Chain A
Amino acid sequence: ETGVTQTPRHLVMGMTNKKSLKCEQHLGHNAMYWYKQSAKKPLELMFVYSLEERVENNSVPSRFSPECPNSSHLFLHLHTLQPEDSALYLCASSQTSPGANVLTFGAGSRLTVL
């Protein structure tokens, strides 16, 4: 496996379900991110982990709960979601450095909430 791998690629869940999205990076990067991508909207940064510590949480509802057990793995735990949470959830990683961090994205997990 190379790059950033996300599973599952597609997920359909009811509003009362609990599910998790998984992300794994094989690049030796020290920062990982969750983004939400909705149609015709800019990418929305949800969470940032740097050296396994959460450094950013952009007012995301508590029904989204991130977990970063080590520098290679990132999870997004989902519970009691709403239909408007249906979107493509992208994981990314980067190596923090002076200047802009270049993000490497996974292929995304397409979430549908019924």
Chain B
Amino acid sequence: QKEVEQDPGPLSVPEGAIVSLNCTYSNSAFQYFMWYRQYSRKGPELLMYTYSSGNKEDGRFTAQVDKSSKYISLFIRDSQPSDSATYLCAMTFSASKIIFGSGTRLSIRP
């Protein structure tokens, strides 16, 4: 079993839709949860960072962590074509070893 599972997509939705991206994980020791966004021909950039369970909101983006279910989500409201990218979930319990999901490719249709 992989430590982090992420549906690779691709996921295609119309502009303005609410997008839900998800990851599941197996290691209950993970405490820090991140979402990175990677545009084509670019490196990943940090989008959201949360510690432990709960929700965190930043503009149109909401990150949700459910440690009891070992499940994390990223919601994008009012999706825009500029949100088209690959989204990587990542998590860790130590300062150096970050475990990444394989990424979900998202396309927003104008």
Residues of A within 8 A of B (CB): 4, 6, 31, 40-43, 45, 48, 50, 55-56, 90, 92, 96-108
What separation, in Å, do the CA atoms of A98 and B96 have in the docked complex? 11
Known: A40-B103, A107-B43. 17 other contacts (CB 8 A): A6-B43, A42-B2, A42-B101, A48-B96, A55-B96, A56-B96, A97-B95, A100-B32, A100-B92, A100-B95, A102-B49, A103-B46, A104-B45, A105-B43, A105-B44, A107-B42, A108-B43
Evaluate contact between B44 and A90: CB separation under 8 angstroms.
Answer: yes
The distance from the CB of B65 to the nearest CB of chain A, in whole angstroms, is: 13
Hey, which chain A residues are within 8 Å of B4, CB to CB?
42
5 cross-chain CB contacts under 8 A: A6-B43, A41-B102, A100-B31, A102-B46, A107-B43
A96 to B96, CA, bound (A): 8
Task: Give A23 Cβ to nearest chain B Cβ, in Å.
Answer: 11
How would you classify the secondary structure of chain B's contact residues: helix, strand, loop or mixed? loop
Interface residue tally for chain B (C-beta within 8 Å): 25
Contact A101 B43 (CB under 8 A): no
Considering the complex of A and B, which 8 residue pairs feature the smallest CB-CB distances, nearest first? A105-B43, A100-B32, A43-B100, A42-B100, A42-B102, A100-B92, A107-B43, A105-B44
Residues of chain B with a CB closer than 8 A to A97's CB: 95
The answer to whether the Cβ of B97 comes within 8 Å of any Cβ in the partner chain is yes
Residues of A within 8 A of B42 (CB): 107-108
Give the tally of cross-chain contacts (CB within 8 A): 63
Interface-centre pick from A50, A98, A104, A105 (highest chain B CB count, 10 A)? A105
| B60 is an interface residue with CB less than 8 A from chain A | no
Contacting pair A101 B98 (CB below 8 A): yes
User: Are A90 and B43 neighbours in the complex by a CB distance under 8 Å?
Assistant: yes
CB distance from A42 to the nearest CB of B (A): 4
B99 an interface residue at 8 Å Cβ cutoff?
yes
Closest-CB distance, A54 to chain B (whole angstroms): 12
Contact A45-B44, Cβ < 8 Å, known A40-B8, A99-B51? no
